[in-house]
Amino acid sequence: MKPLEVRYSRPHNISIAVLAVGMIAISIAHFVTSSEQGASLSTSDPRFVLYAVLVVTMGFYAWTGFTRARNPEPQVVIDHNGIALGFGRNRRLAWKDILWVRQRHLGFRLQLQIGVDPESFMQSDLRLSMWNLDDGLRPVRGAPAAVAVRDNGLDARASAMFDAVRTFRPNLVKS
């Protein structure tokens, strides 16, 4: 059985970064050229605040896209030892600690959900947040000791990760 290594997708992340830089340029150009009422460079002007927030947000996504495109490390590894999760955490979940694995939709996209033994889940310290919109790992609503792996920006889909789990440990697959 061949391990599955999933990395950040270079084309996806570079395109996100380029689009974000383009949006920054467009918003700055729009702010500068279409100020028919004489916009001021002050926080009391709501248009200036709107454009400033847009530029900062798109700057974050440009930085994130370029950083991820240059990162060669695997973010998910599924092999005979278990499931290794990167995304800045670099934790391995051993097969003995995993109780179940399933696929669920988050909007239109599939995500891989992994149910973990509660004690092992606490020890893994995955630092999951409901509010981090750009994170590959999320908590699973209604399952306190579970983690969802989002495949946004990765070079393999959640269905391929699910198939790899099915190959290594078919007894863990839950529908």
44 pLDDT exceeds 70?
Answer: yes
Q: How confident is the model at residue 38 (pLDDT cuts 50, 70, 90)?
A: low
DSSP state of 136: S
What span, in angstroms and rounded, lies between the C-alpha atoms of 131 and 115?
20
pTM (2 d.p.)? 0.85
56 pLDDT exceeds 90?
Answer: yes
Q: How confident is the model at residue 49 (pLDDT cuts 50, 70, 90)?
A: confident
36 pLDDT exceeds 70?
Answer: no
Mean pLDDT of the chain: 91
- Across the strands, what pairs with 114? 101, 147
